[in-house]
A and B are shown apart, each in its own frame.
Chain A
C-alpha cells in the first residue's frame, strides 16, 4: 500500500515536471528559443495562483480566496504575459540575448519572492495553499491517487493541446521558422510575433505547472525556484528528445526517477553530515550527463530535431 502511495506521489511530481517540459518543448523543440529562466516562469505561476486562492492574510497582499481553477488560469495568464514581454524585448536580437535575459528573469523573480515580503511572504513563503481533495487527506492513499489523477489529466490536456497546435498552420509556421532562416527573415516582423506567441504559450504552461505543484504541496518558498529547477527541466527535455512531446513526458519521468533514485541511494550510503556533499555530486553527475547527451546523442530518446544553423559560426565554412 505504501508502495502505491509512494508511486502515486512520485508520478505526480514527475508529471508536474512533464508539464514544464512540455512548455519548454514548445519554446525550444518547436520554435528553437533557448529559455534559461524556466524556474522564474514556474515561480510566477506558483505565486500567482497561491495569492489568488489562499485565504486573506493581513501580513501580505491577498490572498483572495478564489477557486483553485481561477488561480490556475491566473497563473497561466501572468506567466504567459511575463514570457511575452521577455520575448518581445529580446527576440529581434541574437538568440544568446534571450538566454541571458531569461536567466535574469529567473534571478529577479527569485529575488522578489525572497524580498518582497508584502507580496510573497519572503523567505518563509506562502502556506495554506488550498489543496484539491483536501477532504481526503485522512486517507493518504486515496489523496495521493486523486492528486495523481488531476495532474495526469492536466498533463494529458496540455499534451493534446500541444499536439494539436504543432499540427495546426500556426505550428507549421513555427517549424518553418525554426528550420529555414530565410523564411523567417522574409516574414520579418511577423516571424518575431509568431515566436513571441510560442514563447508566451510555453511560459503559460510553465506557470500552470508551478500552480499545480503549489496546490499539490500546499506550501511554496523561494528556494523551490532556484536555477537548479531550470537545469533539471532542461536535462529532462534533452534526455527525452527535443521536439517530441512524448520525449518531454518520458524524459521527465525517467530523469526524475534517476534523480529520486540516486537521492535515495546517497541517503543510505552517506552519513547525515556528508549528505549535502553527496547531493552536490548528484548534480555533477546530471550536469555531465547533459553534456554527454548533447555530444553523442543530441536527439535524446525520441527527438527529431534538425537544429537550424541559425547564427552559426559563419556556418557554411568547412571545418
Chain B
C-alpha cells in the first residue's frame, strides 16, 4: 500500500502526431492528497489531465496508477482501473434523469452494489435525491457539478481527477464546490485537479504543480506556493478572474 497513487513520468501527448501539447510533464500524487495543477492559459493543463485519463493520445512517457502502468489503457477502461475523470464541461448526460446518470457509471458494478452506492450518494448529496427523476439538463450549474462528481465517486476510485471544477460557476458556487472536494478528501479519496482559480484551489490543496509550456515548472506545498515570488511571476501574477472558463 505504499508508493504514490499516481506517478506521471515525462509525459508527451497531443491530438496530432508531431504536435505535442504536453511536452514531458512529470507529477506525483500521494495517497489521501489533493494535488492541484496550475498554469497560464495554453500551458497544456487540460490536455495533460486528459492524457492521464486516456483521452489524448500519448506519444512518450508513463502513467502509473498505484504502480500499474495505465499509459495505454483506453479511456473507457480507466474507471475499472480505478481512475475516475470529471470533464470540465458537458460532464453530465442532459437528457437522462439524475438517477440514470448515476446508473451509467454503475455499469461496471453488480446491479445490487450499484444501487447501494447510488443510495449512499444520495445521502451524501441530498439535493440530487430531490431531483432524481429530473432530466439532468435542467439542473443548475452547481448541481450539475455535484452530479458529475457523484457519478465519478460511485465506482469508488483510487484517484478522482477533475478538469477545472470551478469553470463557469459563480463565486458562491465555487466555494461550495471546493468545500465539497475538501469533504470528499476527508472521506479518504485522493484527488488531482486542474484549476484556473488558483486561490480557491490552493486553499484546499496539499501540494501544487505549475505547468508552463507543457511541462511542470514548479512544485510546492500549496499554502507556500501562493506566496512564492517565482510562481507569482510565472503565473499567479496574472490574477485569475473568478469566473474564467477558458480551457488550457
The chain A residues found within 8 Å of chain B, CB to CB, are 316-318
The verdict on B56 contacting chain A, using a C-beta distance below 8 Å, is: yes
Q: List, sorted by A's number, 6 A–B pairs whose CB atoms are closer than 8 Å.
A: A316-B15, A317-B55, A318-B15, A318-B55, A318-B56, A318-B57
**Chain B residue nearest to A318 in the complex (CB):** B57
Alpha-carbon gap, A300 to B227, bound state (A): 62
Give the Cβ gap from B77 to chain A, nearest Cβ, in Å.
15
The 4 closest A-B pairs by CB, nearest first: A318-B57, A318-B56, A318-B15, A316-B15
A-facing residues in B34-87 (Cβ within 8 Å): 55-57
* Total contacts A-B at CB 8 Å: 6
Alpha-carbon gap, A46 to B56, bound state (A): 54
Alpha-carbon gap, A285 to B57, bound state (A): 38
Residues of B within 8 A of A316 (CB): 15
**Chain B residue nearest to A319 in the complex (CB):** B57
Residues of B within 8 A of A318 (CB): 15, 55-57
B-side interface residues, number (CB < 8 Å): 4
Residues of A within 8 A of B56 (CB): 318
Per-residue contact bits, chain B 1-39, to A (CB 8 Å; 1 contact, 0 not): 000000000000001000000000000000000000000
Per-residue contact bits, chain B 95-130, to A (CB 8 Å; 1 contact, 0 not): 000000000000000000000000000000000000
Alpha-carbon gap, A33 to B55, bound state (A): 32
Per-residue contact bits, chain B 204-222, to A (CB 8 Å; 1 contact, 0 not): 0000000000000000000
Give the Cβ gap from A196 to chain B, nearest Cβ, in Å.
32
Alpha-carbon gap, A225 to B23, bound state (A): 58
**Chain B residue nearest to A317 in the complex (CB):** B55
Alpha-carbon gap, A318 to B56, bound state (A): 6
Alpha-carbon gap, A318 to B55, bound state (A): 7
Alpha-carbon gap, A175 to B113, bound state (A): 55
Alpha-carbon gap, A316 to B56, bound state (A): 10
Residues of B within 8 A of A317 (CB): 55
Give the Cβ gap from B90 to chain A, nearest Cβ, in Å.
10
Alpha-carbon gap, A57 to B82, bound state (A): 80
Residues of A within 8 A of B55 (CB): 317-318
Alpha-carbon gap, A316 to B16, bound state (A): 10
**Chain B residue nearest to A314 in the complex (CB):** B90
Alpha-carbon gap, A318 to B72, bound state (A): 13
Alpha-carbon gap, A316 to B50, bound state (A): 13
Alpha-carbon gap, A317 to B55, bound state (A): 8
Residues of A within 8 A of B15 (CB): 316, 318
Alpha-carbon gap, A238 to B57, bound state (A): 32
Give the Cβ gap from A317 to chain B, nearest Cβ, in Å.
7
Give the Cβ gap from B119 to chain A, nearest Cβ, in Å.
33
**Chain A residue nearest to B57 in the complex (CB):** A318
Residues of A within 8 A of B57 (CB): 318
Give the Cβ gap from B185 to chain A, nearest Cβ, in Å.
30
Alpha-carbon gap, A96 to B15, bound state (A): 27
Alpha-carbon gap, A122 to B127, bound state (A): 67
Give the Cβ gap from A213 to chain B, nearest Cβ, in Å.
47
Give the Cβ gap from A295 to chain B, nearest Cβ, in Å.
21
Alpha-carbon gap, A316 to B14, bound state (A): 11
Give the Cβ gap from B15 to chain A, nearest Cβ, in Å.
6
**Chain A residue nearest to B51 in the complex (CB):** A318
Give the Cβ gap from B161 to chain A, nearest Cβ, in Å.
17
Alpha-carbon gap, A316 to B47, bound state (A): 12
Per-residue contact bits, chain B 173-191, to A (CB 8 Å; 1 contact, 0 not): 0000000000000000000
Alpha-carbon gap, A316 to B15, bound state (A): 8
**Chain A residue nearest to B90 in the complex (CB):** A314
**Chain A residue nearest to B54 in the complex (CB):** A318
Alpha-carbon gap, A318 to B57, bound state (A): 7
Alpha-carbon gap, A203 to B132, bound state (A): 52
Give the Cβ gap from A313 to chain B, nearest Cβ, in Å.
15
**Chain A residue nearest to B56 in the complex (CB):** A318
Give the Cβ gap from B92 to chain A, nearest Cβ, in Å.
16
Alpha-carbon gap, A316 to B46, bound state (A): 14
Alpha-carbon gap, A317 to B56, bound state (A): 8
**Chain B residue nearest to A316 in the complex (CB):** B15
Give the Cβ gap from A318 to chain B, nearest Cβ, in Å.
5
Give the Cβ gap from A69 to chain B, nearest Cβ, in Å.
54
Alpha-carbon gap, A317 to B75, bound state (A): 11
Give the Cβ gap from B186 to chain A, nearest Cβ, in Å.
35
Alpha-carbon gap, A318 to B50, bound state (A): 11
